[in-house]
Amino acid sequence: MNEAPASVNPTSRLLAGLAVISIAVALFSAYSLHQISGLRELQLEAIDRNRRDSLQLLRIQNNLQNVALSMRDMAEGSSPYPITAWTAEFERIRLDLDDALALEQELAPTVRTTQQQTFLRDSLTDLWEDVQRMFDSAEQGDEGESRRLIREVLQPRHASIANTVARFLVSNNEAEQAAAAEIQGIYDSVERNTYYFMMAVFAAIFLTGGYMVFHNRRLFRDLAQLSEERQVLAGRLISLQEDLFESVARELHDEFGQALTAAGAMLTRLERKTDQSSTDLREGLREAKGVTQQALDGVRRLSQKLHPNVLNDFGLEGAVEWHVTQIREQTGLDVHYEKPRASLAQVESERAIHIYRVLQEALSNVLRHSGATKVHVRLSALRGRLRLEVQDYGAGLPPGEARPKGLGLVAMRERASIIEGTLTITRPAEGGTLVALDAPMTSAGKSS
C-alpha cells in the first residue's frame, strides 16, 4: 500500500495572508484618514477663511464706494450743504472701515504677503490724514482748497486703495479656485486609490481562497484515499476474522465434537457392560456421560457462534430463522420473524455472513441495552436488493444522539460498507429503535 502524500498544514500560510490583508487595510485606512483630515483642514482653514476674508474685503470696498460718492458730491459742489457737514458721514465710514480692516487682517490668507497687508493699512491711514486736512481747510472757510485736495489727492489715493482691494478679491477668488481644484484632485486620488485597494484586496482574497481550495482538495483527496485504504483494511480484517472463526469452528466441530461424541459412545458401552450390581460405577458412568454430552452441546453452540454451519447448509433465510428461534428459546424474548416472499438463493455466501452478523449484533444490542420484551425481525428482497430490519420497542436512542456509537455499531457499519450497503439506526414514532440494513444481493461486478 502506497503511503499517502504528506499534507502541509495551511494554517500558518492562511494566517500570514490574513496578516498581510489586515496590514494593508490598516495602512489604507490610515492613508484615507490622513487625506480626509487634509481635506477638512484645507476646506476649513483655506476656503472658509478665504471666503470670510473676501466678505470683509467686500465690506471695505463698499465703504470705499460710499467715500467715493461723498467726495464726488463735495468736489462738484452740487450739495446745498457745506463740506464740513460731511464730517459725521466720513467718521461713521471710517469707524466701519477700521473694524473691517482689523477683521480682514486676522483672516488674510497665507498667500498674501506682509508688505501687501502693510500697504493697504498705510494707504488707508494716509487717506484719512488727507481727509482730515481737507476738513481742516473747509473749517477755515477755504472750500476751494478742500475741493482741490479732493480732486488732486483724495480721489487718486482712493482709486489706488480701491484697486488694491479689488486685486485682493481677485487673489482670494483665484486661491479659492486653486483650493477647490486641489480638493477635487485629492478626492480623485482617494477614489482611484480606493479602487486600486479594492482590486488588491479582492486579488488577495481570491489568492487566499484559491490556496484554501487547493489545499482542501488535497486534504479531502488524502482523506478519501485514507478512508478507502481503511475500508479495504477493515474488509480484510473482517474477512480474516471470519476465516479464523470458520477454521476454529470446524476444528471444534470436527475434532473436539467427534472426540466428545466418541467419548460419549464409549461411556455408553461401558455402562452396558458394567454389572448391574455395580451401582456406584454405573452412576459414575452416567454422570460422566452427562458431562460429556454437556461439553459436546457447548462445543456445538460455540461452533455455531463462531461460524454458523446452518448458513452453509440452509442459506441466509434458514440461518436467520434458526438464529431467531435460538434467541427466542434461550432468552424468552418475543421475536416475531417475517420471512421474505422472494427467494434469497442468489445472495452470495460472502455477503450472507455479513448480513447474518448484523442480525446477531442487532439482537445482541436489544438484549443488552433496550430492555424490550418484543422484537420484530423483517427480511425482504425486491429488485435485486435485500433489506433486513430489526425493530424493538424498548428504551430507544438517547435524546439528541442522531448517530449512536459503540464498537458493535462500528462493526455493523463496516460490514454494511463491505457489501456496498447502508445501515441506518432510527427512533420510530412508536418508540424503540429500528436498525435497517439495505444492500444489493450480489456484488456490482456480478449479475443479479
pLDDT digits (tens, 9 = 90+) for 111-147: 778 888 888 889 889 989 999 998 898 888 888 888 8
For residue 408, what pLDDT is reported?
78
Q: Which fold has domain 308-440?
A: Heat Shock Protein 90 (3.30.565)
Q: Cα separation of 425 and 127, whole Å?
A: 108
Q: Is the pLDDT of residue 4 over 50?
A: no
Q: Cα separation of 441 and 395, whole Å?
A: 32
Q: Is the pLDDT of residue 96 over 90?
A: yes
Q: Cα separation of 398 and 433, whole Å?
A: 10
Q: Is the pLDDT of residue 422 over 60?
A: yes
Q: Residue 14: left (phi > 0), alpha (psi -120 to 50), or beta?
A: alpha
Burial of residue 35 (number of CB atoms within 10 Å: 0-12, 13-18, 19+):
middle
Domain map (residue ranges) of the chain: 11-212, 308-440
For residue 9, what pLDDT is reported?
58
Among candidates 392, 283, 298, 288, which has minimal Cα distance to 336?
Answer: 392
Q: Cα separation of 61 and 116, whole Å?
A: 16
Q: For strand 385-392 and strand 433-440, is the pairing parallel, antiparallel, or unpaired?
A: antiparallel
Name the pTM for this structure.
0.49
Name residues whose C-beta falls within 8 Å of residue 333's C-beta, 6 or more positions apart in sequence.
327, 363, 366, 367, 372, 373, 374, 375
Summarize pLDDT for 367-381 with one digit per residue, the tens: 888 788 889 999 988
Quickly state the pLDDT bin for 289 (edges 50, 70, 90).
Answer: confident
Q: Which residue has the higher pLDDT, 119 or 307?
A: 119
Q: Is the pLDDT of residue 19 over 50?
A: yes
Summarize pLDDT for 252-282 with one digit per residue, the tens: 666 666 777 777 777 777 767 776 666 777 6
- Taking residues 18-44, report their average pLDDT: 74
Q: Is the pLDDT of residue 95 over 70?
A: yes
Q: Is the pLDDT of residue 219 over 50?
A: yes
Q: Is the pLDDT of residue 353 over 80?
A: yes
Q: Is the pLDDT of residue 62 over 90?
A: yes
Q: Report angle CA 419, 424, 429 to the nearest 5 degrees.
A: 155
Task: Find the distance separating the first CA and the last CA of the chain, reported in whole Å.
Answer: 32
For residue 256, what pLDDT is reported?
66
For residues 300-312, one letter each, b for 16 or more C-beta atoms within 10 angstroms of the residue's C-beta and e for the rest, the string is beebbebbbbbbe
For residue 246, what pLDDT is reported?
64
For residue 92, what pLDDT is reported?
93
Which region among 83-97, 160-174, 338-352 has the lowest average model confidence (pLDDT)? 338-352
For residue 257, what pLDDT is reported?
65
Q: Is the pLDDT of residue 80 over 90?
A: no
For residue 435, what pLDDT is reported?
92
For residue 390, what pLDDT is reported?
92
Q: Cα separation of 35 and 29, whole Å?
A: 10
Quickly state the pLDDT bin for 364 (edges 50, 70, 90).
Answer: confident
Q: Is the pLDDT of residue 194 over 50?
A: yes
The 385-392 sheet, strands edge to edge: 334-338, 374-382, 385-392, 433-440, 422-426
Quickly state the pLDDT bin for 42 (edges 50, 70, 90).
Answer: low
Crossing angle (nearest 10°) for helices 87-107 and 49-76: 160
